[in-house]
């Protein structure tokens, strides 16, 4: 069986800058990936096709796709896209006039799709795919923390709140999750089992490359599915992946007058000003060849792995959803043609839940410390270059938990605990401060200053509230909590009463 898994995630960007890092990142990904990829899935579902792929949507991304500010901003962004395309259509050079006409049509179609299917937010879109049985939905912990480095109490709370968030948005609790960064440390499987999680994703090397079956982890019934790198790297390899082909649209080359992307890759060493104009027909023909190549790669891998293990094997290809459209313009077209071509080639396609239910599960594995980051270890989130963030995260978590525990201890015994909005906001800010995105952006030197600023801003918010609570200034703490809550308007269902009182079992 073949399973395609997509992981959709962006950090919380609303009201935290626009360009070069901030909301523009969200709107680009929304227009280039989330709109067309879900449209592909809805179109295939309308044909009666089911169990197409496994789609992970993190709570922090889901919140942005439902947020009124983001929905308004996205609508404006789509209109601006049309205006930029109109400007290109009026330029003197024929290739730019063609580009403008093409982009204007695309922008108009995207705006129409957004105004109809997305007008009530992303939850309605995803719920429609769940109801049509087109996807299996994977959830995740609230705010996307790097779980192995997180205090066990906050780790358990983040996971349970993430699953609560999924139920609130989609009236559906995921059976599986995509743990942030595919990060794992022994013992997490017990937390997963306690939260009702049945399966999760890891990178192939965590299973020593043997990804042909899901594997129960340690002594639990929780199953880890591994990403098959031989197959996945056919698409997303820095050296030989499909998106780098000369015919595809170049991600890095812009028309600076309009912000549109006019060129094809042409060649890896060709400077931007010498790249050839983008040719949609040439790109489409290349997509066909790459779909055929990928189908044959999956077929060969299924056969070789089935022969090796002496039973029917599983192949899991897994990617960031944003690859398909945002980073690789032709990605949604590739997905649609691939999802048609695989069953036509006689390849059984299903979800991770299907794989588990159909018995694609092997012997237990003693899963080690791992991630899907550089080195397949924790260096991106715990290495020397991010030690300042590691120390900040430890301080933030200690401050939040100590302050909450001391304040809880002052409550009158025997009375039911009431909702405490101050406690809620302290945990929101703590979880936002320890998001794995900030260390990743620093380690990879992609907007490192922005990432550090974000981590420190949420840490500052927590300290302000915690200081007021600790000094007994409860009115001030309430005002601060309300103000910081309005600033992000995030995770309204988070309830600090569900934070475990001691080490979780």
Mean pLDDT of 464-487: 97
Confidence band for 503, pLDDT divided at 50, 70 and 90? very low
Q: From the CA atom positions of the chain, what is the Rg in Å? A: 23
In this predicted structure, the answer to whether residue 339 has a pLDDT above a threshold of 80 is yes
Which phi-psi region, left, alpha or beta, contains residue 327 (left: φ > 0; alpha: ψ -120 to 50)?
alpha
Rounded Cα–Cα distance for residues 210 and 195 (Å): 27
Mean pLDDT of 207-218: 97
18 CB-contact burial (10 Å; exposed 0-12 / middle 13-18 / buried 19+): middle
Among 97, 121, 184, 106, CA closest to 149: 184
| Phi, psi dihedrals of residue 468, rounded to the nearest 5° | -65, -40
**Tell me, what's the pLDDT at 276?**
96
**Tell me, what's the pLDDT at 501?**
85
In this predicted structure, the answer to whether residue 394 has a pLDDT above a threshold of 80 is yes
Mean pLDDT of 137-152: 97
- Catalytic member of 320, 354, 394, 467: 320
Mean pLDDT of 191-218: 97
Given a contact cutoff of 8 angstroms between Cβ atoms, the answer to whether 70 and 363 are in contact is: no
Rounded Cα–Cα distance for residues 504 and 399 (Å): 19
In this predicted structure, the answer to whether residue 238 has a pLDDT above a threshold of 80 is no
419 CB-contact burial (10 Å; exposed 0-12 / middle 13-18 / buried 19+): exposed
In this predicted structure, the answer to whether residue 38 has a pLDDT above a threshold of 70 is yes
**Tell me, what's the pLDDT at 64?**
98
Given a contact cutoff of 8 angstroms between Cβ atoms, the answer to whether 124 and 42 are in contact is: no
Is 181 an active-site residue? yes
Given a contact cutoff of 8 angstroms between Cβ atoms, the answer to whether 378 and 180 are in contact is: no
Give the pLDDT confidence of 316-335 residue by residue, as tens digits.
999 999 999 999 999 999 99
Mean pLDDT of 50-56: 98
Is 109 an active-site residue? no
Whole-prediction pTM: 0.96
Q: Tokens 């129409």: give the residue.
A: 112
Given a contact cutoff of 8 angstroms between Cβ atoms, the answer to whether 212 and 314 are in contact is: yes
Given a contact cutoff of 8 angstroms between Cβ atoms, the answer to whether 127 and 41 are in contact is: no
Give the pLDDT confidence of 368-390 residue by residue, as tens digits.
999 999 999 999 999 999 999 99
HSE-CB at 386 with a 13 A cutoff on CA atoms is 28
Mean pLDDT of 333-343: 98
**Tell me, what's the pLDDT at 179?**
96
The domains of the chain, with CATH numbers, are 2-140+178-374 (3.20.110.10), 383-498 (1.20.1430.10)
Rounded Cα–Cα distance for residues 338 and 287 (Å): 9
Rounded Cα–Cα distance for residues 22 and 460 (Å): 20
Rounded Cα–Cα distance for residues 272 and 78 (Å): 26
Mean pLDDT of 103-114: 97
Expressed in percent and rounded to 5, the helix, strand and coil fractions of the chain are 55, 10, 35
* Residue 247 DSSP SS3: coil
Among 431, 422, 437, CA closest to 484: 422
Rounded Cα–Cα distance for residues 89 and 98 (Å): 7
Among 99, 38, 28, CA closest to 70: 28
| % of residues, the chain, pLDDT over 90 | 94
Given a contact cutoff of 8 angstroms between Cβ atoms, the answer to whether 56 and 34 are in contact is: no
Confidence band for 47, pLDDT divided at 50, 70 and 90? very high
Please state which of the ranges 34-43, 326-335, 411-420, 431-440 shows the lowest mean pLDDT. 411-420
By DSSP bridging, strand 215-216 and strand 2-8 are: unpaired
Please state which of the ranges 16-20, 161-165, 326-330, 429-433 shows the lowest mean pLDDT. 16-20
- Catalytic member of 23, 136, 165, 181: 181
**Tell me, what's the pLDDT at 436?**
98
In this predicted structure, the answer to whether residue 232 has a pLDDT above a threshold of 70 is yes
| Sheet strands (E) in 304-462 | 315-320, 349-350
Give the pLDDT confidence of 268-311 residue by residue, as tens digits.
899 999 999 999 999 999 999 999 999 999 999 999 999 999 99
Given a contact cutoff of 8 angstroms between Cβ atoms, the answer to whether 433 and 462 are in contact is: yes
Please give the mean pLDDT across all residues of the chain. Answer: 96
**Tell me, what's the pLDDT at 286?**
98
Give the pLDDT confidence of 245-275 residue by residue, as tens digits.
999 999 999 998 899 999 999 998 999 999 9
In this predicted structure, the answer to whether residue 504 has a pLDDT above a threshold of 60 is no
């Amino acid at each position: 069986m073949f399973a395609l898994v997509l992981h959709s995630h962006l950090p919380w960007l609303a009201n935290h800058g626009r360009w070069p890092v901030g909301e523009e990142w969200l709107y680009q990904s929304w227009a280039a990936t989330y709109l067309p990829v879900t449209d592909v899935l809805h179109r295939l579902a309308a044909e009666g096709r089911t169990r197409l792929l496994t789609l992970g949507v993190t709570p922090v991304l889901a919140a942005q796709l439902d947020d009124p500010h983001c929905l308004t901003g996205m609508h404006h962004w789509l209109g601006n896209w049309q205006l930029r395309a109109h400007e290109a259509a009026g330029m003197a050079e024929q290739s730019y006039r063609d580009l403008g006409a093409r982009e204007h049509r695309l922008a108009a179609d995207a705006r129409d799709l957004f105004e109809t299917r997305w007008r009530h937010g992303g939850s309605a879109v995803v719920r429609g795919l769940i109801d049509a049985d087109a996807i299996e939905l994977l959830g995740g912990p609230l705010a996307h923390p790097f779980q192995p480095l997180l205090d066990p109490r906050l780790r358990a709370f983040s996971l349970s709140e993430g699953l609560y968030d999924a139920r609130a948005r989609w009236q559906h609790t995921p059976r599986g999750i995509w743990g942030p960064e595919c990060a794992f440390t022994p013992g997490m499987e017990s937390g997963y089992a306690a939260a009702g999680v049945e399966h999760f994703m890891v990178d192939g090397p965590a299973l020593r490359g043997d990804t042909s079956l899901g594997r129960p982890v340690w002594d639990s019934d929780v199953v880890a599915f591994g990403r098959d790198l031989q197959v996945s790297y056919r698409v997303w390899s820095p050296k030989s992946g499909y998106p780098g082909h000369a015919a595809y649209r170049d991600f890095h080359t812009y028309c600076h007058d309009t912000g549109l992307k006019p060129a094809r890759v042409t060649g890896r060493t060709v400077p931007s000003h010498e790249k050839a104009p983008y040719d949609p027909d040439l790109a489409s023909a290349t997509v066909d060849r790459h779909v055929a190549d990928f189908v044959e790669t999956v077929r060969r891998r299924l056969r070789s792995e089935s022969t090796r293990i002496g039973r029917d094997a599983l192949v899991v290809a897994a990617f960031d959803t944003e690859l398909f459209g945002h980073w690789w313009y032709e990605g949604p077209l590739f997905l649609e043609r691939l999802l048609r071509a695989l069953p036509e080639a006689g390849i059984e396609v299903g979800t991770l839940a299907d794989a588990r239910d159909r018995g694609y599960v092997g012997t237990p594995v003693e899963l080690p410390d791992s991630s899907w980051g550089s080195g397949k270890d924790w260096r991106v989130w715990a290495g020397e270059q991010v030690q300042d963030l590691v120390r900040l995260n430890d301080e933030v978590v200690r401050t939040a938990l100590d302050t909450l525990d001391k304040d809880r201890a002052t409550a009158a015994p025997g009375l039911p605990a009431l909702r405490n909005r101050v406690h809620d906001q302290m945990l929101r800010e703590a979880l936002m401060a320890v998001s794995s995105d900030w260390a990743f952006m620093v380690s990879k030197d992609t907007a490192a200053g922005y990432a550090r600023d974000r981590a420190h801003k949420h840490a500052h918010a927590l300290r302000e509230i915690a200081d007021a609570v600790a000094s007994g200034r409860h009115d001030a703490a309430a005002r601060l909590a309300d103000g910081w809550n309005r600033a992000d308007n995030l995770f309204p269902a988070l309830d600090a009463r569900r934070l475990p009182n001691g080490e979780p079992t």
